[in-house]
Structure 1
Amino acid sequence: MKWNWEQPDWPDFVYDPAALQPLEREFLLRSGEFIGAFRHIGADQQDILRIELIGDEALKTSEIEGEILNRDSVQSSLRHQFGLGAARPDIPAAERGIAEMMVDLYRGFAAPLGHQTLFAWHRMLLAGDRTIQVIGGYRTHADPMQVVSGPIQQRSVHFEAPPSARVTGEMTHFIDWFNRTAPDGIQPLPALTRASMAHLYFVCIHPFEDGNGRIGRAIAEKSLAQNIGQPSLIALAYTIERKRKNYYAALEHDNKDLEINGWLNYFAGTILRAQITTIGRVDFYVAKARFYERHRDQLNARQSKVIERLFREGVDGFKGGLSADNYITITDTSRATATRDLRDLVEQGALSKTGELRYTRYRLKLC
């Protein structure tokens, strides 16, 4: 017996519930911290931040699968989905589809999971794909569903899913389990335990021809949202993508046995790191709003363009810090003007300066 679904006790996963209790408490504490921080932001600013957080998740969950999407198109589609902007006819199907799925996840987090919800997400994700045989339904092909790597002559099989003939039955059991273990279900599970198990359980079934990873991560986010009673807006895919190899290694390690303590510890830790990232991004957004309150009327057009670019880099900032050459490239101005603009930004307290001569670097001064 090679895979976990071939075990006679499948899908009765084995784990130590006590091992995650400290992490479960930490998750609930940080959830309250995030909710409190988010509520201190004005309604209009909440809309903008919501789109930024959801948009980044949409981009990163796609990037994990090797699909690079256009940020502006995703955010434009999200604004339209939330009623904050007109529909743009030039939005590609992939960007529109992932935005639709993420908004449906956000709005419908509390609803029980069902086949039709998963089929709808699949149609959204793959609306523009012409290579998939079944879109909006479970796979039906007779060939083994495998996760492989390497050249054909030396192909490595990292996982093989249950045959297509078993998928509908497996998914019926999965959906029943997911709804039974919800906070209002008959067998509720703690937040981290349930989300971690749900993701592993789903991807081990691998019910679709494509899109399983993105839908599996959406299920984990739905699970977390149900456990805290509101959309989590958690940077889960954002955090996974940063150490994508670890994610795939953890999945591969735990797809051959029903004992999943290692997976639960890995995924729970990832969720907690995602929470820290999310709270940090909310704090960064609040700092951004305060920054513009202080400096908006003091910036010329060139400075505004550079400051906007720096903020777009996010919490991590401009890699290596902003240099005079960066400033010249972004604004298409002379070195003398760049030097004068940068000196002015430092004097007004918008940027901090480190280093000298060609090693001089500038960073946003947010406090």
Structure 2
Amino acid sequence: MPQWIWQKSNWPMFSWRDADLQPLLRQCHRAQGQLLGMAGAISHDAQTTDALDTLLSNVITSSAIEGERLDVGSVRSSLARRLGLVDEVMGRASRRSEGMAELMLDATRHPDAALDMERLLRWHRWLFAAHDESLLPLRIQVGALRGDEPMQVVSGRIDRPVVHFQAPPRDGLEVQLDAFLAWFKASEKNAALDPLLRAGIAHFWFVTLHPFDDGNGRITRALTDLALAQAQPQAIRFHAMSASILADRQGYYRVLEASQKDGLDITMWLQWFLRTLLDSLQQAQQRIERVLMKARFWQSHRKDDLSSEQAKVINRLLDGGEKGFEAGISASQYAAVAKVSKATATRHLADLVEKGCLMRLPGGGRSTRYVVQH
């Protein structure tokens, strides 16, 4: 059996190789500053919409990391309502999405509120808000610390299990959590500790304690968002770290497992954490750049008198990431998106080319494709 990190005599006295982390830290701080500068250049309405989309992405992807699928429309409605927004796709919100919205907004919008045991247990209750407790597995205690059974993450055959992780024993868990919460409070004011490293340490420490029967990963990521909000309240509104974790979910589990079986030097974990944070910041920059590009485009073509169908297709192309449109749009695709005939689509496309909105790519016949002309 491996010796787990929490079994080390000097647990949880973490250490790291600062020289190995400084380049990543500089890149993350630079990306934060660039993101805030870009966000400041878009309209207030666009900022609000982007913040809603970011919160939604964090909620959906944090659950997806655990293999749980949430109703996107329901979660979006819950978030929009709490933000005082009238969203164009507002629908009925479920108890489940209401609880997830409460958790995410509490973590990201109230960085000055104390993180204590009461708040953690409240988060856990919100996480399971929609679950009928009579239908939950008997081992799951909602809004309470885990039971006395050993907490393990296991895979493989029943007769030959592979133990990927084992949490500290239940006995003494309250003392360990009190130590973590005391550190979390004191470290916020520690000028010698980079706030981004603090977020990475908090993530690793809490998920290693694994204090609940279920939901530990999602609570850990909410706690990480809280730490990042305390570090930079404005920036957290525009990037979704859980989405970047989901993109490398297997890497996430591998580095956690390796670090939890290693010594108290957590450099490897912090490197992965900072690289993933940097990815989330860069993804946000690209998204906001598309917003800015879209604004510039419509400013240039404000007098072109486009039809509603033409504007709809242009917006789809400008939003980026449209499946099937990576190499431009064809007349048949235009007809499907705009819901017009093929002849009308061809006429609309020719008009858009003439007005300088679209550019026709080389090729002819049915293969002719068009891209936005920036």
TM-score normalised according to structure 2 size? 0.86
CA deviation string 1:268-297 (max 9, x = no partner): 111112111122222222222333444466
Q: Which moved more, 1:28-37 or 1:87-96?
A: 87-96
The correspondence of residues 321-336 of structure 1 with structure 2, limited to 5 A, is: 321-336=328-343
How far apart, CA to CA, are the structure 2 residues paired with 1:153 and 1:364? 59
How far apart, CA to CA, are the structure 2 residues paired with 1:181 and 1:315? 43
How far apart, CA to CA, are the structure 2 residues paired with 1:30 and 1:315? 26
Gaps of 5+ in 1: none
Aligned residue type for 1:221: D
Q: Which residue of structure 2 lines up, in the alignment, with residue 111 of structure 1?
A: 113
1:199 pairs with one of 190, 198, 203 = 203
Q: Which residue of structure 2 lines up, in the alignment, with residue 48 of structure 1?
A: 49
Cα pair 1:197 1:264 within 8 Å, conserved: yes
CA positional deviation for 1:262: 0.8
The correspondence of residues 261-272 of structure 1 with structure 2, limited to 5 A, is: 261-272=267-278
Cα pair 1:195 1:220 within 8 Å, conserved: yes
SS at match of 1:129: coil
Distance 1:11 1:304, change over 3 A: same
The correspondence of residues 317-356 of structure 1 with structure 2, limited to 5 A, is: 318-319=325-326, 321-356=328-363
The correspondence of residues 290-329 of structure 1 with structure 2, limited to 5 A, is: 290-295=296-301, 298-310=305-317, 314=321, 318-319=325-326, 321-329=328-336
How far apart, CA to CA, are the structure 2 residues paired with 1:30 and 1:241? 20
SS at match of 1:165: coil
Q: Which residue of structure 2 lines up, in the alignment, with residue 139 of structure 1?
A: 146
Cα pair 1:310 1:317 within 8 Å, conserved: no
The correspondence of residues 1-367 of structure 1 with structure 2, limited to 5 A, is: 1-85=2-86, 90-130=92-132, 131=136, 133-140=140-147, 142-182=148-188, 184-185=189-190, 188-230=192-234, 232-233=236-237, 234-257=239-262, 258-295=264-301, 298-310=305-317, 314=321, 318-319=325-326, 321-356=328-363, 357-365=365-373, 367=374
Cα pair 1:354 1:362 within 8 Å, conserved: yes
Cα pair 2:76 2:90 within 8 Å, conserved: no
CA deviation string 1:39-79 (max 9, x = no partner): 23332332222112222222222222222233332222211
How far apart, CA to CA, are the structure 1 residues paired with 2:98 and 2:118? 20
Cα pair 1:311 1:317 within 8 Å, conserved: no
How far apart, CA to CA, are the structure 1 residues paired with 2:324 and 2:272? 27
Bigger radius of gyration among the two: 2
Distance 1:7 1:361, change over 3 A: farther
Computed over aligned residues only, the root mean square deviation of the Cα atoms, in angstroms, reads 2.8
How far apart, CA to CA, are the structure 2 residues paired with 1:246 and 1:70? 26
SS at match of 1:164: coil
Cα pair 1:113 1:179 within 8 Å, conserved: yes
Gaps of 5+ in 2: none
Distance 1:15 1:294, change over 3 A: same
Distance 1:105 1:323, change over 3 A: farther
Distance 1:349 1:63, change over 3 A: farther
How far apart, CA to CA, are the structure 2 residues paired with 1:331 and 1:315? 14
Distance 1:39 1:312, change over 3 A: closer
How far apart, CA to CA, are the structure 1 residues paired with 2:146 and 2:359? 55
Distance 1:33 1:328, change over 3 A: same
How far apart, CA to CA, are the structure 2 residues paired with 1:322 and 1:76? 32
Distance 1:318 1:102, change over 3 A: farther
